[in-house]
Structure 1
Amino acid sequence: MKSDVIEAVAPVPTELIVTGRARRQPQRRPTGRSSVGLFFAYASLVIAAVVFAMPLVYAFFSALKPNAEVFQTPPAFLGSEVRWSNFVEVFTYGPFATYILNSFWVAIAGTAVVVIVSTTAGYAFGRMRWRGRDAVFVIFLATLMVPQEVLVVPMFQLMQWFGWVNTPQSLVLPFAFTAFGTFLLRQFFRGIPYELEEAARIDGAGMLRIFLQIILPLARSAVAVLVVFTFISFWNSYLWPLIVVNDYASLGTLPIGLASFAGQFGTRWDLQMAAAIISMIPTTIIVIALQKHLVSGIATAGIAGR
C-alpha cells in the first residue's frame, strides 16, 4: 500500500529542494524560418523609420542653407555654405522669443486644466455610481465627433460676450475641456480593482483621499499619455490663436510666429526651417522624458475596463 502511494506521487526535482525554485528552462533558438521573418520585420521597421525621419533631416539641413538654395534643383542636403547663424537670426527677425514663451504658457496652463478636469470627470464616470451616468457619458463622448472648425464661430462669440478676445485666458479655456482625456482615464480607472477602494473605505478614507492617494498614483501612465497628447495639441494649435488674438506681437503663439516668415515680399524659407526645428525641441524632450510611461499607458489604457 505504501509503495503504491510513493509511486503515484511525482518525484520532486532536486533544485526545488535545494533552492526552492525550478531551474530556468533554456531558451529555444529561433529556427531558420523564424529568423528570416524576424530579419524582415526589423528591416521593415528600419525602412519605415528612415522614411518618416527623412523630412526632418531635410528640414534641418535646409535650415543651414542660404535662402536662395532651399529649393534648388536638383535638391541637395548641403548648400554652398553652412549657416548656423540662421538659428540666431530667427530671434532677430521678429519677436520669436515671445512666441515661444506664449506657447509654453498656453501649453502648460492648458495641459494642467485638461489633466484636472479629465481625471476628476474620468473618476466620476468610471468609479462612481449615479443615475444617468452612462447616458451623460455618451452625450459627453459625442462631442468628439464635432470638428474644431465648427466650434470656432460660437466659441469666438462666447469670448466676445465674456470680453476675453485678445486675452491670455481665451487661448487656454475654450478648448481645455475635451472628452478625449475623460474617456482615456475613465477606461483606465475602470480597470483598477474595486477591492482597493473598498479596503480604503474600511480604513476610514474618504472619496477625495481615495482619489488622490490610491486611484491617481495607479494611473500615472495614463496621465502621462494625456499630458503628452494635450501639450502637443496646445503647442501646435494655429487656427484658434489666429482668430481670437489681434496683438500677435505680444500674445502670438509659435505657429503664428512660423507663419510670420512668409511675407508680402517673399518667404524666408531658411529661417522658417530653422524656426520649425527649434519649435520641435520642447515636444521631443517631453516625449523622451515620458517615454516609459507613454508606452505602458498606451499598452494598458486600451485593454482596461469592465
Structure 2
Amino acid sequence: MTATTPAATGTRPGVGRRVFDFLRRRPVTATAALFVALLILVAIFAPWIAPHDPYTQDLLHRLQPPDARHLLGTDDYGRDALSRLIFGARISLTAALQAVALALILGLPLGVIAGYRGGWVDTLLTRLMEALMSAPSLVLAITIVAVLGSGITNAMFAVGLVMAPRFFRVARASTMDVRGDTYIEASVALGCKPSRIITRHILPNVMPPIVLVISVSLGTAVAAEASLSFLGLGAKAPAASWGSMLSTAASNMQLAPHLVWPPGVMIFLTVLAFTYLGDGVRRALTRSRNGSSN
C-alpha cells in the first residue's frame, strides 16, 4: 500500500500548513516568529519567570551593577532590572495590542467602504484621514494625552488614532484594485448585497497587506509606547515599562550606564521581529491565495 501525497491526490495543503512550510524555508522570518512567540510567553508567565518582585524596593542596593543575585543590576530604587524587563514585556505588548486594535477597527472598515463606494463617500473619508495624517504623529499623540490625561490607556488611544490612516490607505487601495474584477461585477449582477460582496470577496484580498500593516504597526506601537512612557505620558510609576526603564537609565547614565542596554535592545529586537514576521506572513498568505507553491 503506497502513501499518498497532496500532489498525488490533487489536493493542496491547508493555509496553515503552507504558512508553516514558508516560514521553515526562510530562517530569518522563522527566527522572528520564534522571538515573538517567546516574548508572548514571557509576557504571559511573567509572575512565574521573574526572579524578584519588580516593585520591591531596596534602597541600600540601588544602582548596583549586574551580579549573581541581580543579573541585570538594580535601578534607582533598588528594584531588580531583569524582573522589571520581564514585566515590561507584558505592558509593552498589551499596550501595542490596544493601539493596533483601535487602528484596525477604525481604519479597515472605513478604507473598505471608501474604496468600494467611491464618489463623495471616498472623498469625505479620504480628506478626513489626510487631515489626521497631516499632523506629526508623536506631537498629535502627546496633544491627545495632554487633553485626556496621562496613562497607558489614554496613550494607546492616541497612538491607535494616529495609526488608523495607515490601515485606511492600505484597505482603500486594495479594495480599489479588486472592485472592478470580473467576479465582483458578476456578484453585483447576480444581486448580491454589498455586505456579502465585501465580506466574501473583498476582505480576503485585502487581508494579506493588512497583515503586514498589523505586524509593522505592532512594532511601531511598542516604540511609541516606550517614547510616551519615556516622557512620562505613558505607563504610570511604579509600573514596569521599557520606556520608563529607559527614562530611569537616562537619569542615571553616569552612575549606572548598564541600565540603558536591556530595554533599548528589547525595543529594537521587538520592532525588528514584528517587521520581519509581518513581511513573511504576508508573502505566505499572498502565495497561498494565488495558489503558488514556490
Give 2:187's match in structure 1, choosing from 177, 197, 200: 200
Q: Give the 3 Å change call, closer, same or farther, for CA 277–243 of structure 1 in structure 2.
A: closer
Partner of residue 218, structure 1: 205
Partners of 2:140 and 2:249 in 1: how far apart? 28
Give 2:220's match in structure 1, choosing from 233, 236, 240: 233
AA aligned to 1:156 is: V
Partners of 1:133 and 1:270 in 2: how far apart? 52
AA aligned to 2:233 is: V
Structure 1 residues 171-180 or 259-268, which shifts more? 259-268
TM-score, scaled relative to structure 1: 0.57
Q: Does 1:272 align with 2:256?
A: no
Q: Give the 3 Å change call, closer, same or farther, for CA 259–221 of structure 1 in structure 2.
A: same
RMSD (Å) for aligned C-alpha atoms: 3.4
Give 1:89's match in structure 2, choosing from 65, 68, 72: 72
Partner of residue 284, structure 1: 272
Higher relative contact order by CA 8 Å / sep ≥ 6: 1 or 2?
1
Q: Write out per-residue CA displacement over residues 230-287 of structure 1, whole angstroms, 9 at most, x where no aligned residue.
A: 111110014433343462322x532222232233473533342233333334333333
Contact 1:86 1:271 in 2 (8 A): no
Contact 1:115 1:181 in 2 (8 A): yes
Q: Does 1:127 align with 2:116?
A: yes
Give 1:181's match in structure 2, choosing from 164, 167, 182: 167
Partners of 2:189 and 2:139 in 1: how far apart? 48
Identity %: 11
Structure 1 residues 178-187 or 199-208, which shifts more? 199-208
**Deviation of residue 203 (structure 1)?**
5.4
**Deviation of residue 103 (structure 1)?**
0.4
Q: Give the 3 Å change call, closer, same or farther, for CA 188–246 of structure 1 in structure 2.
A: closer
Contact 2:216 2:275 in 1 (8 A): no
Q: Give the 3 Å change call, closer, same or farther, for CA 278–243 of structure 1 in structure 2.
A: closer
Give 2:155's match in structure 1, choosing from 147, 154, 171: 171
Contact 1:114 1:181 in 2 (8 A): yes
Which one has the largest radius of gyration? 1
AA aligned to 1:256 is: S
Structure 2 residues not aligned, in runs of 5+: 1-65, 75-79, 287-294
Partners of 1:132 and 1:113 in 2: how far apart? 22
Partners of 1:275 and 1:181 in 2: how far apart? 28
AA aligned to 1:255 is: G
Structure 1 residues 172-181 or 114-123, which shifts more? 172-181
Q: Give the 3 Å change call, closer, same or farther, for CA 155–279 of structure 1 in structure 2.
A: closer
Contact 1:261 1:269 in 2 (8 A): yes
SS in 1 for 2:160: coil
Partners of 1:284 and 1:196 in 2: how far apart? 38
Partner of residue 259, structure 1: 247
Partners of 2:148 and 2:111 in 1: how far apart? 27
Partners of 1:280 and 1:239 in 2: how far apart? 13
**Deviation of residue 107 (structure 1)?**
0.8
Aligned length: 210
Q: Does 1:107 align with 2:96?
A: yes
Contact 2:214 2:278 in 1 (8 A): no
Partners of 1:97 and 1:113 in 2: how far apart? 25
> Which structure 1 residue ranges, 4+ long, deviate > 4 Å from structure 2?
83-87, 201-205, 293-298
Partners of 2:255 and 2:194 in 1: how far apart? 57
Q: Give the 3 Å change call, closer, same or farther, for CA 229–105 of structure 1 in structure 2.
A: same
AA aligned to 1:221 is: P
Partners of 1:244 and 1:287 in 2: how far apart? 26
Structure 1 residues not aligned, in runs of 5+: 1-82, 299-306
